[in-house]
Amino acid sequence: MKCPFCPNSDTAVVDSREADEGAVIRRRRRCLSCDKRFTTYERVELRMPVLVKKNGARVDYDREKLRSSFKLALRKRDVSSDKVDDAILRVEEKLIAMAEREVATHKLGEIVMRELRKLDKIAYIRFASVYRNFADPEEFGDVVAELNPQRKARK
């Protein structure tokens, strides 16, 4: 590790401890040349897959874009920010667990729809109507019936 105070790269670890519930290792270091101390943090770097759009274009995963999609679907719905953050984390975990360099956006959309369905059925319908690009009211009705099987059986 290079010293931030002098150009020397000869440093010694004085102390190491876990931070952020074990997700990070904090290391106190001492430069063997200038004798100054500094702290470094070691954390796992996970790369999100590149998203492949319908037209073949490739775009980097953007957490804020995902968050804005959730917010748009959940607009004026009573769902806490913590629950949205948890859902986004689950989406990211599923993307990482796929262990693929590239993921089609339709797969991401399906994962998001499953998470929205757990959070709020109205938000799920909103997202599905845009994502699946409903052409007629029957498609909309099919999604609503899918959410309430008892109602479908009564008709």
d(CA 114, CA 87): 10
Neighbours of 23 (CB within 10 A): 9
For the chain, 155 residues long, give each residue's pLDDT as a single digit of tens. Answer: 899 999 899 999 999 999 877 888 999 999 999 999 999 999 887 789 999 999 999 999 999 999 999 999 999 999 999 999 999 999 999 999 998 999 999 999 999 999 999 999 889 888 887 777 666 767 667 777 777 765 544 44
3 neighbors 24 (Cβ within 8 angstroms): no
Residue 152, pLDDT score: 46
Angle between the 121-131 and 63-73 helix axes, to the nearest 10 degrees?
120
Residue 124, pLDDT score: 85
Beta bridge partners of 30: 12, 37
Output the six-digit token pair for 17.
């401890």
66 neighbors 112 (Cβ within 8 angstroms): yes
